[in-house]
Amino acid sequence: MNSVDRLFGEISGGRVLDIAAGQGGSAGMMAEKLADYEEIVGVDVSEENIAKAKANNKNERTRFVAMDASDLEFPENCFDTVSVFNSLHHLEKPDRVLSEMLRVLKPEGHLIIGEVFQDQATDYPNSQRHIHHWWAAVDRVNGVSHRETMTRQEVLDMVGRLPLTGVKVADHEEEPPVSRDEHMLRSLHEYYRRCLQRLEGKPAAEALKERGLELLTIIDRDGVRWEKEVVVVAKKSA
């Protein structure tokens, strides 16, 4: 078992809140990897993603609600575990969201943060980072909050400013896999086509379109090399 999975396996989740749950991947992952849990509530500001998360997750102890994480509609100290995965760089106000996460977390409850970072050991041309940063640029020209990913240290510094105890940090030890899965490649092409529509009439559209095509050509040839995330688990100070 790798050290990230070992860390999840040590947590008895209780009532879990997953912030920026997207299409439900992180909630599903926690249902599988936490030692146990009572229920998982996933929230996301996108109604479209919440609908997809509901369709993707058939687990009866998991539910999804559309909500802005910078203004959580929960009372204070009501969750045993609060998590956010691969989303800090998506948030317009990450510090505000982290403070909301701590508000609804019980004292001594678990805060879990997983975030992909940009300073990976090796910078492969087919690394996910390049296409990820391209998606982020397309989002930004469309007014959607999406920054480039942080460095590993920037993630740790952001967490280090919070009132936490017992901070544990885990990294995936293995070299990230290269995926040549046909379904995944088709989805990347489909997403690229949707991005082209979103770029119509936008500033710098031509340069962005060209860069996107260049990245897809590399990925078609070499597959996508996924990137590692860093995982931090800590307790809210009593």
Ligand X SMILES: C[S@@+](CC[C@H](N)C(=O)[O-])C[C@H]1O[C@@H](n2cnc3c(N)ncnc32)[C@H](O)[C@@H]1O
Residue 48 or 175: which CB sits closer to ligand X? 48
CB of 10 to ligand X, least distance (A): 20
Burial bucket for residue 23 (CB in 10 Å: 0-12, 13-18, 19+): buried
- The residue length of the chain stands at 238
CB of 221 to ligand X, least distance (A): 26
- The single-letter DSSP state of residue 230 is E
Which of 148-165 are b and which e, b meaning 16 or more Cβ less than 10 Å from the residue's Cβ? Answer: ebbebebbbebbeebebe
CB of 202 to ligand X, least distance (A): 20
| Residues making contact with ligand X (CB under 6 A) | 20-22, 25-26, 44-46, 49, 68-70, 85-87, 90-91, 145
CB of 210 to ligand X, least distance (A): 25
* Paired tokens of 195: 């991005």
Residue 25 or 223: which CB sits closer to ligand X? 25
Contact status, residue 11 vs residue 179, Cβ threshold 8 Å: no
Residue 86 or 127: which CB sits closer to ligand X? 86
Q: In this structure, which amino acid lies at residue 96?
A: R
Angle at 159 between CA 158 and CA 165, to 5 degrees: 150
CB of 52 to ligand X, least distance (A): 9
Residue 26 or 120: which CB sits closer to ligand X? 26
Residue 69 or 231: which CB sits closer to ligand X? 69
**Going by C-beta distance under 8 Å and a sequence separation of 6 or more, which residues neighbour residue 115?**
85, 86, 87, 88, 89, 149, 150, 155, 229, 230
Residue 29 or 78: which CB sits closer to ligand X? 29
CB of 116 to ligand X, least distance (A): 9
Alpha carbon 135 to chain centroid distance?
A: 14
Torsion of CA 61, 66, 72, 73, to 10 degrees: -80
CB of 206 to ligand X, least distance (A): 27
Residue 97 or 162: which CB sits closer to ligand X? 97
* Paired tokens of 219: 């990925």
